[in-house]
């Protein structure tokens, strides 16, 4: 699978309390968003990478996107959902033809807002497969996980909030199994967004401040 971002060199213990809590969330039916928060250099990236490898090996990972403030290709949201859609098409081949048709009908979709891209390139194609062909089911073994790492590394704070709002709206509109694992620093505006009335009811949050580094590194 093509991944957006380089793999961190060190890996956390996959049997650690942190990883186990996240895996339990993944196995439960609700809620559809997990937010892992922690300060800079606290291990969020290596945890996300370890989970990406674990879920990819289990065949349940749809896509990843690793933001990076110092990488001009990964410090803004314009490529976010287009990159995720590309990976969805690669990891879940049944969606490839549907997503391709979307881009052929509307070549400008890749320049539209994050919300429009998420809906047109990801949610609607997967919804179509779920409702029409039966190629996507409620089985926990189907690919259904998307990882967005380092949301705070997106250089525009308003866009960070827009991304979260787009995800929450999309999840409430779809009726197939889809989960987002998101990591970031606990910036005040991000905390406020996750605690909003639209996101908090569909959120499970986990703070690395509750653990010692030895619990996951």
Indicate the SS3 state at residue 143.
coil
Domain spans of the chain? 32-215
pTM over 0.95: no
Q: Mean pLDDT across the stretch 25-43?
A: 91
% helix, strand, coil for the chain, step of 5:
50, 15, 35
Residue 7 confidence class, pLDDT cut points 50, 70, 90 = very low
Cis preceding-peptide flag for 31 (omega within 30 of 0): yes
pLDDT in tens, 81-100: 999 999 998 877 888 888 99
Predicted pLDDT of residue 213 = 67
Q: What is the Cα–Cα distance from 68 to 144, expressed in whole angstroms?
A: 24
Predicted pLDDT of residue 214 = 63
pLDDT in tens, 115-157: 899 999 999 888 888 876 555 655 556 778 999 999 999 999 9
Q: Which CATH number fits domain 32-215: 3.40.190.10, 3.40.50.970, 3.40.50.11260, 3.40.50.300?
A: 3.40.50.300
């Amino acid at each position: 699978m093509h991944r957006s971002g380089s793999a961190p060199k060190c890996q956390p213990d996959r049997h650690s309390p942190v990883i186990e809590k996240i895996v339990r969330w993944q196995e439960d039916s609700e809620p559809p968003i997990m937010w892992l928060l922690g300060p800079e250099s606290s291990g969020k990236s290596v945890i996300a990478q370890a989970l990406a490898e674990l879920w990819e090996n289990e065949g349940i990972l749809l896509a990843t996107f690793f933001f990076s403030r110092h990488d001009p290709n990964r410090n803004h949201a314009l490529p976010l959902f287009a990159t995720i859609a590309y990976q969805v098409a690669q990891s879940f081949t049944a969606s490839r033809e549907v997503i391709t048709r979307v881009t052929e009908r509307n070549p400008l979709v890749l320049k539209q807002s994050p919300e429009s891209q998420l809906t047109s390139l990801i949610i609607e194609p997967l919804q179509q497969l779920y409702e029409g062909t039966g190629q996507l089911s409620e089985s926990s073994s189907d690919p259904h996980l998307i990882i967005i790492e380092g949301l705070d590394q997106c250089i525009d704070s308003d866009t960070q909030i827009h991304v979260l709002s787009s995800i929450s709206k999309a999840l409430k509109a779809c009726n197939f199994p889809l989960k987002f694992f998101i990591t970031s620093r606990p910036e005040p505006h991000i905390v406020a967004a996750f605690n909003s009335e639209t996101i908090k009811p569909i959120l499970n949050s986990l703070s690395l401040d509750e653990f010692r580094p030895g619990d996951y590194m």
